[in-house]
Amino acid sequence: MGTLDLDQARAARSETLGEQHVLKFGGTEFHLPVEVPLEFANHAVKGDILEALQSLLGEDQFPVFMESHPSMKDVEELMNGMAELYGMEVGESSASRHSLKNTSPPSRPTSLVSTNST
């Protein structure tokens, strides 16, 4: 019987990844986890920004972060910065990068009379 030791694997990743990341906002330093929490990703995919931020910052830091009244632009900068810090890609999924080929015939004109351009 084999054993899959996720604790050991996490410890090895933490040693490789190094120290926690720091987020500076509103004159305060917030310590981000070494790895992106699954909860954060789950909430972010669902579009629940506040829940995502709370899972990232934790119960102690989240209220302090919110006291600085972050704007949507601040959160956008945070998400883009996280992608860089954690080596993630932001944007379209690989499944949606290629557009579908148009196989339908062109549409018919709706009028026999054309109008001048403005």
Higher pLDDT, 82 or 17: 82
The pair of three-digit structure tokens given for residue 16, joined into one six-digit string: 């490789």
Look at residues 43, 71, 46, 73 and name the one whose alpha carbon lies nearest to residue 57.
Answer: 43
pTM beyond 0.85: the answer is: no
In angstroms, the CA 110 to CA 108 distance is 6
Q: What is the mean pLDDT of residues 51-73?
A: 96
Separation in Å, CA 42 to CA 24, 47, 70: 24, 9, 21
Are 20 and 34 in contact, with CB atoms under 8 Å apart? yes
Q: Tell which residue, 61, 25, 53, 49, has the closest CA to residue 37.
A: 53
User: Residue 116 pLDDT > 50, yes or no?
Assistant: yes
Mean pLDDT of 67-82: 94
What pLDDT is attached to residue 19? 75
Kindly report which listed range (29-38, 77-86, 94-103) carries the lowest average pLDDT score.
94-103
